[in-house]
Amino acid sequence: MKRIFLSSPHMSGNEQKYIQEAFDLNWVAPLGNNVDQFEKDLATYNHMEGASVLTSGTAAIHIALRLLEVAEGDKVFCSSLTFIASANPILYQGADPVFIDSEPDTWNMSPQALERAFQDAESEGQLPKAVIIVNLYGQSAKIEELKEICDRYEVAIIEDAAESLGSEYKGKKSGTFGKFGIYSFNGNKIITTSGGGALVSNDIEALNKSRFLATQARDQAIHYQHSELGYNYRMSNIVAGIGRAQLKVLDDRVAKRRAIFDNYVEAFKDQPGFDFMPELEETKSNRWLTALTINPEAAGITNMDIIHSLGNENIEARPVWKPLHLQPLFEDAKYYSHEEGYSYSDELFKYGLCLPSGSNMTEEQQNRVIHTIKKLM
């Protein structure tokens, strides 16, 4: 049986046009027309002043922290229920991550946990340098409530929209609410450049500085001169060509993934114990992955039963992200739960499940997933 992946790349068919353009112009290395145009297209799509395309979403977070002058000994607040790439750049800068729990309405950062974290930080005399808010599986966090808290303490937001490109919050594009927004174009994302990421902002000066830092921080001199630490983070012109073609079909990819999510909901609407990831009012999730929780007492099976059963049929499924405050790497980090004595992200990890959601899934493939689960039950 042909393997069904959780989220595989989905090419539009027009990528070769832009790749060939790079070859024709002999701009196959970083910089070039595709890079310039991809940045413009990303900014236009998201109604932002500009974008800087980089080698990964992780690189984009790292550059954002540099631009905010995060340094050794500083604190950075970060969502706990996310992939580790959201927090690793905090360590790159020698700073200390403080993890914030999720809440039930979005599975994203809890405003009440964030408020407690800020209150403690203020009493300790050390506010964070930044807050990294993650939009999990395409669903926007409670941005207005979180932003109100951060603005009150005058702390910048880095909106990690690695999984939520194309999503919306009250009519605005995901990734456009903070000082910086972050996107990822990894192979499993809703659109891909094979690998890559982007930083978006309305601060053009900061974006220009990001390009400088991402190109080894080379000073304006005919010889190679460097006055500060830089990185090799600029996206290649070939990769950017793939991105230009992919961005043109983004809205179609969002529509397909939302349809896949709806099909799963319809298939299991009468199954006790199956609770799908909610969509906050006045938001539109790109439904990058179909995520749900399985209550074993009500369903009679566990999330791991389903994962193993699908695996036996050559179908990939996974638990939700293991919260970062539970990761051995961060065992000494501070953590603020949604409620005193109750960690919601722990519960999501215990019962959560991600089903195959790729926009190139056929109806037959999705039916195969559904049939395998129903057969198990």
254 φ, ψ (degrees, to nearest 5): -60, -45
CATH number at residue 324: 3.90.1150.10
pLDDT in tens, 310-368: 999 999 999 999 999 999 999 999 999 999 999 999 999 999 999 999 999 999 999 99
233, 280: one domain = no
Classify residue 319: in a domain, yes or no: yes
68, 205: one domain = yes
Q: What confidence score (pLDDT) does residue 211 get?
A: 97
CATH number at residue 228: 3.40.640.10
Please state, as a whole number, how many other Cβ atoms lie within 10 Å of the Cβ of residue 137: 27
Q: What confidence score (pLDDT) does residue 28 get?
A: 85
Whether the CB-CB separation of 98 and 76 falls below 8 Å is answered with: yes
240, 255: one domain = no
Classify residue 34: in a domain, yes or no: yes
Which residue among 223, 249, 275 closes a domain? 249
Q: Could you say which residues of the chain have pLDDT below 70?
A: none
Which residue among 199, 230, 249 closes a domain? 249
Closest alpha carbon to 176 in 194, 154, 198: 198
Amino acid residing at 267:
A
Q: Which residues contact 61 (CB under 8 A, 6 or more apart)?
A: 85, 86, 89, 132, 158, 160, 182
In the block, tokens 């891909």 appear at 192
Which residue among 226, 249, 272 closes a domain? 249
Q: What confidence score (pLDDT) does residue 109 get?
A: 98
Whether the CB-CB separation of 188 and 194 falls below 8 Å is answered with: no
Burial class of residue 309 in the structure, from the number of CB atoms within 10 Å of its CB (0-12 exposed, 13-18 middle, 19+ buried):
middle
Classify residue 7: in a domain, yes or no: no
Q: Which residues contact 169 (CB under 8 A, 6 or more apart)?
A: 140, 143, 177, 280, 282, 283
Helix (H, G, I), strand (E, B) or coil at 238: helix
16's tokens: 């070769």
Q: Residue 68 sits in which domain range?
A: 15-249
74, 220: one domain = yes
Whether the CB-CB separation of 107 and 354 falls below 8 Å is answered with: no
Closest alpha carbon to 233 in 59, 17, 3: 59
321's tokens: 């992200």
Does the pTM surpass 0.95? The reply is yes
Whether the CB-CB separation of 180 and 48 falls below 8 Å is answered with: no
329, 204: one domain = no
Q: What confidence score (pLDDT) does residue 377 get?
A: 86
195, 271: one domain = no
271, 339: one domain = yes
Helix (H, G, I), strand (E, B) or coil at 200: strand
Q: Which residues contact 96 (CB under 8 A, 6 or more apart)?
A: 73, 74, 75, 76, 90, 333, 334
Domain count for the chain? 2
Whether the CB-CB separation of 136 and 323 falls below 8 Å is answered with: no
Classify residue 2: in a domain, yes or no: no
Whether the CB-CB separation of 288 and 190 falls below 8 Å is answered with: yes
